Amino acid sequence: MSNLATMHPSEVRQLIRNNELVKPTSGWASGYTQANLAILKKELAFEFLLFCQRNQKPCPLIDVTEPGSPIPQLSAPEADIRTDIPKYRVYRHGELVEEVTDIVKFWNDDMVAFLIGCSFTFEHPLMNNGIAIRHIEENCNVPMYKTNIPTVKAGRFEGPTVVSMRPVPEQAVVRAVQVTSRFPAVHGAPLHIGNPVSIGIQDINEPDFGDRVTIKEGEVPVFWACGVTPQAVAMHVKPELMITHAPGHMFITDLRDERFGVI
C-alpha cells in the first residue's frame, strides 16, 4: 500500500468503499484536500450553515450537499458520502452510539452533509517552507485545546473555539503566519501566537483532544482554529441524529490543496 500517497483520490475512495482501507487517511492521495464531515437533518441545516458562515476560521466549508443527496457535487462528484469514508461515528442526542464503515442504513432524504476544511491542507505548505510538523514527527495526533475565544452564535449553535497547536521555531513564526494566511479557506492565519494562558489554555501539556507533543527550547506554540470546533458545537445542541467521520478518518476530495491559496 506504499503507493496510497500517489494514487488519485477516486482510486483511494474505491478501496475505502470496498472496506479495504479502514484506517486514518493522513498522507493518502497527497496534494488533494481532505475534509471533516458533519451530517445533520435539514431542520438544523440552515442554522449550522449560518454558524459556519459566521465562524469561517474554525468552520471553513469545502462543500455542502443538496438536502437528501449523498453526492458532494463540488468537491468529488463521483463520490458517495455514505460509503467513501473509512470510519464514521453516529451520535444520537449528542451520545456516540455506533462506529460504522458505511452509513447507508442511516441515510434519508432529510439529510445534509457538510464537508469542512482540515489543517492537513496548510501543513504541507508549512513543511515545504521548512517548518516541520511536530505531531507528524512524533507520529501522533495534533494537540487540540478548548479556548476562551467564543464562536459567534447562530440559532442554537454556540460554544468555545477549539484550536490546534504546532510548535514553531522563533525565527520561523513570521513565515508560518505568511504561509497559512494564503489559505483563508482552510483555517487561514493563526488565531494566537505564544502564551497559551492568554486564550484560556491552563496547561499546554494537557490537550483536550489529540496528543501532547514536545515543545523544544526556542520554539513558540502557535495556535490555529480547528475543524473540531463545529462538531463540538453541534454535539452541544444534542441533535436527534448526527453523523461525523471518526477522528483522522477523513473524506478525500478531488480538489488540489493549492486551489485554496488566495495569492
- In this structure, what DSSP letter does residue 11 have? H
Q: Does 178 bind a second copy (CB under 8 A)?
A: yes
Beta-strand runs (E) in the chain? 32-41, 61-64, 88-92, 95-100, 111-117, 144-150, 160-169, 192-193, 219-225, 242-245, 251-256
Positive or negative: CA dihedral 10, 16, 17, 20: positive
The least CB distance from residue 84 to a second copy, in Å, is 21
Query: Residue 261 carries which side chain, given as an amino acid letter?
Result: G
Positive or negative: CA dihedral 23, 29, 30, 33: negative
The least CB distance from residue 181 to a second copy, in Å, is 4
Query: Scanning residues 193 to 252, which ones bind a second copy (CB under 8 A)?
Result: none
Q: Which residues lie below 8 Å from residue 156, measured CB to CB, with a gap of 6+?
A: 44, 47, 237
Burial 107-141 (b: 16+ CB within 10 A, else e): beeebbbbbbbbbbbbbebbeeeebebbbeeeeeb
In the complex with a second copy, which residue's Cβ is closer, 182 or 212? 182
Considering only the stretches 120-128, 135-143, 182-190, 228-236, report the one whose residues sit in contact with a second copy under the rule CB under 8 A: 182-190
Residue in 95, 85, 102, 74 with CA at minimum distance from that of residue 28: 85
CA distances from 240 to 65, 101, 181, 191, 243 (A): 20, 21, 37, 32, 10
Q: Rule CB under 8 A: choose which of 15, 61, 193, 215 binds a second copy.
A: 61
Nearest-angstrom CA–CA distance, 167 and 218: 10
Q: Does 117 bind a second copy (CB under 8 A)?
A: no
Query: Scanning residues 28 to 57, which ones bind a second copy (CB under 8 A)?
Result: 42, 45-46, 49-50, 52-54
Q: Does 74 bind a second copy (CB under 8 A)?
A: yes
Q: Is 52 helix (H, G, I), strand (E, B) or coil?
A: helix
Q: Does 71 bind a second copy (CB under 8 A)?
A: no
Q: Does 259 bind a second copy (CB under 8 A)?
A: no
The least CB distance from residue 58 to a second copy, in Å, is 15
Q: Does 113 bind a second copy (CB under 8 A)?
A: no
In the complex with a second copy, which residue's Cβ is closer, 26 or 181? 181
The least CB distance from residue 189 to a second copy, in Å, is 7
The least CB distance from residue 52 to a second copy, in Å, is 8
Considering only the stretches 23-31, 165-173, 181-189, 192-200, report the one whose residues sit in contact with a second copy under the rule CB under 8 A: 181-189
In the complex with a second copy, which residue's Cβ is closer, 120 or 157? 157
The residue ranges that bind a second copy (CB under 8 A) are 42, 45-46, 49-50, 52-54, 61, 64, 66, 74, 152, 154-155, 178, 181-182, 184-185, 188-189, 262-263
